[in-house]
Amino acid sequence: MTIDSDPRAELLGIASSLRAYLELQQDAGSTGIPRGAMRHAAPAPTPSPSPTPSPSPTLSPSPPPPPPPPPTIAVAPAPPPRSLAVLQEQVASCKKCELHKTRNKTVFARGNPQASLCFVGEAPGADEDEQGLPFVGRAGQLLDRMIVAMGLSPDKDVYVCNIIKCRPPGNRRPTPDETSTCIPYLHDQLANVAPKAIVALGNTAVAALLDTKLGITKLRGEWKLYRGKTLVMPTYHPSYLLRPTATQQQSKREAWEDLQKVMKQLGITPPARKA
């Protein structure tokens, strides 16, 4: 195209050429004007399927560890009781409480250490302090008659002892300190004798053997346990039965009823009464 050519003729030529091109594309089934970049673009890659992850194996929960065993506590065995011979020797020289200053003799026991029945009283009196044997005064004589009435021998069939081994001055009741100091001797005595039953005579014996503050009138006639295993029958002390009171005869009957329960428990047959 030159400078002096007609612009309208030039536009008319361009339009004719464009129309002819479009008609050719239409006849070929194409629409629009194709882009070269689109004709030469590489096909998009087909994404490969992601691999399906294999399921993780199901693990059973581990059982909890067993609890640790409790610590073993070593318990020292209880020492064996002192023999009766050793006990009697230790009692004879005992100075653990103030009673040793006023005693004449210590009072250990009398009767048979192999007996199945044991009588335990309170403390020695004047006669016992003089002779060195328990229950040898008036109360002891009554106790012997009660034992004979049961069909037993005071020397062969029973064992007789006291809570306290020395006489308290004036026959007073032993103090708690005197009782707690002296009673280990009795515990070892009873461990050696191992009676099937114990007759506790009076308040002091009952309180010491059963660790109770209940009086004899509330406890008598009912079986109790010494140290959880040995039968104990609480009853009146013979010295109480000797006192001239309004209830003396009734108390004697009750004491005999208590002894009858002991006889039944031990299978003792009372002697036939004389006609």
User: Would you say residue 198 lies in a domain?
Assistant: yes
Q: Is residue 54 part of a domain?
A: no
Separation of alpha carbons 218 and 23, rounded Å:
137
Token representation of residue 266: 């031990």
Q: Is 22 within a domain?
A: no
Say if 218 falls within a structural domain. Answer: yes
Q: Is pLDDT of 107 > 90?
A: yes
Model confidence at 164, in pLDDT bands (50, 70, 90)?
very high
CA 198, distance to chain mean position in Å, is 26
Q: What is the CATH number of the domain that holds 91?
A: 3.40.470.10
What's the structural domain count of the chain? 1
What pLDDT was estimated at residue 17? 66
- pLDDT band, residue 37 (cuts 50/70/90): very low
The overall average pLDDT reported for the chain is 86
So what's the pLDDT on residue 22? 62
Q: What percentage of residues in the chain have a pLDDT greater than 90?
A: 69
The answer as to whether 209 is a domain residue is yes
Lowest mean pLDDT among 57-71, 81-95, 182-196: 57-71
235 domain-assigned:
yes
Residues in the chain: 275
> Has residue 90 got a pLDDT over 50?
yes
Question: What was the pLDDT predicted at 240?
Answer: 96
Q: Is 230 inside a domain boundary?
A: yes
The residues, any chain, with a CB within 8 Å of residue 213's CB and separated by 6 or more, are: 207
In a domain, residue 6? The reply is: no
Percent of the chain with pLDDT over 70: 75
User: What's the mean pLDDT in 56-68?
Assistant: 65
Task: List the domain range (segments joined by +) for residue 139.
Answer: 84-266
State how far the alpha carbon of 211 is from the alpha carbons of 134, 183, 192, in Å.
23, 12, 21
Q: What is the DSSP string of 10-69?
A: HHHHHHHHHHHHHHHHHHTT--S---HHHHTPPPPPPPPPPPPPPPPPPPPPPPPPPPPP
